[in-house]
Structure 1
Amino acid sequence: MALTSSRTAVRSTSEGGITERIEARFGLLALFVGSIWAAFFISAALPGLHLDSLGVIPRRVVGLRGILFAPFLHASLAHIMANTGGLVILGWLTMWPRLEGFWSALAGSMIGAGLCAWSLGAPGSVHIGASGVVFGFAGYLIARGWYTRNFLSVIVALFVMFSYGISMLFGVLPINPLVSWQSHLGGTVGGILAARLSAPAHRK
């Protein structure tokens, strides 16, 4: 009888731990994506604030603040909707097995996207949007599978490659002048570097 009770207690503790981990990740992702939507609604409701001016402005010192703010700013409803799906799906995948993966991928993609847009963007342009983060998440997940060679990480990497590979390829090419390919390229590189730097931790 005591053995049965012990097993039940261990099972309950394990299930509770998994539930808490899922809730923590869901809450963080909801807060992150929700803040992006909140910024969009504020910008749409109060156009006089000119929040878009907080984006990345190439080769201007003031434009470096866009590294932090650009992912939270979007030009239209179609723009933010196009990025939301990738943020949710890929962002969720970066959170497993460790929540630190999300922070690493986010930091790498934001810094990479921002610096690349600042360095290579057209003079006078302003780069906004979270697509650089989406590309960074994708790059991180693909590279993580390569560097860790963990079975589940490889499966996730293959899923991302087959689901987003084509759009990633065309997204980093200077095809559409209205699309910040610089942010896409920088975000991808930043995500890959983040995966490389965190690879030893994933192997443990």
Structure 2
Amino acid sequence: MNKPDHFKFSTGVVAYPILFVLTIWIVFWVEVRFGYNFSKYGIYPQTLKGLRGVLLSPFIHGNIQHIYHNTIPLFVLSMALFYFYRHIAWRVIIFGILISGFFTWCIGRPSYHIGVSGLIYVLVSFTFFKGVFAKHYRLIALSLLVVFLYGSMIWYTLPIEKGISWEGHMSGLITGLLFALFFKKEIAKPKKYIWEQENYNEDNDPFLKHFDENGNFIESIETEPEIEQEQHTINYIYKKNKD
């Protein structure tokens, strides 16, 4: 499979997270504007009807504070996901919603579990553990940044506060760790400089040819015949245009 070997910015890095967040806010606006309550479409554990919440619960939020605290980290983390792990980003998001939602359905209390926080914990866990496992300095730096910004979220995987779905958070944390272990090789790598390549040879380095053994710059070096011919052609065209 031919894939780019370096991190690359694209419109999808920003467009997809914005679209996801915008959809969540539109659903919330419909609830408020028309007086609906979509909480009944959330995950209700151990019931067949409650399984529909596996797909629908990420788009449902209880109040403005709930949606505000969820959509900001979702936007930041999904942007990082699409930039550093663009080849597997959609799989992480889609399967992250499904698997973490199903885990929540299995272990959750008999109550409606709503919100996109399960996916957020998937992204936090995946980004952190994948950076550590990859042993690449940029991904490790991303992992440290995630810990700095969202490290305190680990406490909410425990039943320390009433009204918070710690089961959904725990499910997301476990799912992200599993993804970090499963997606072993499908990550982008930065473009290597010539001296970082395995077959690098100083004698063939075009840059080092401009310096002698003592590190002094050589003003004139021998060039290949093709390069000399190209230089003569350029000089000829330049003189002709000048005349």
TM normalised by structure 1 equals 0.83
1:180 aligns with 2:165: yes
Cα distance in 1 for partners of 2:103, 2:85 equals 28
Alpha carbons 2:87, 2:186 under 8 Å: kept: no
| Structure with larger Rg | 2
1:118 aligns with 2:105: yes
| Aligned residue in 2 for 1:51 | 38
SS across alignment from 1:179: coil
How far 1:47 moved relative to its partner?
2.7
Cα distance in 1 for partners of 2:16, 2:54 equals 20
TM normalised by structure 2 equals 0.70
| Aligned residue in 2 for 1:41 | 29
| Letter paired with 2:136 | N
Cα distance in 1 for partners of 2:41, 2:61 equals 11
CA RMSD of aligned residues (A): 1.7
Bigger fraction of residues in helix: 1
| Aligned residue in 1 for 2:65 | 78
Alpha carbons 1:109, 1:188 under 8 Å: kept: no
Alpha carbons 1:71, 1:128 under 8 Å: kept: yes
| Aligned residue in 1 for 2:83 | 96
- Where structure 2 has 5 or more consecutive residues not aligned to the other structure, the ranges are 1-7, 190-243
Alpha carbons 1:87, 1:134 under 8 Å: kept: yes
Residue number among 56, 62, 69 corresponding to 2:56 in the alignment: 69
How far 1:99 moved relative to its partner?
1.8
Cα distance in 2 for partners of 1:105, 1:86 equals 16
- Where structure 1 has 5 or more consecutive residues not aligned to the other structure, the ranges are 1-17
Number of aligned residue pairs: 182
Alpha carbons 1:112, 1:189 under 8 Å: kept: no
How far 1:176 moved relative to its partner?
1.4
Of all paired residues, the percent bearing the same amino acid is: 27
Runs of 4+ in 1 over 3 A off after TM superposition: none
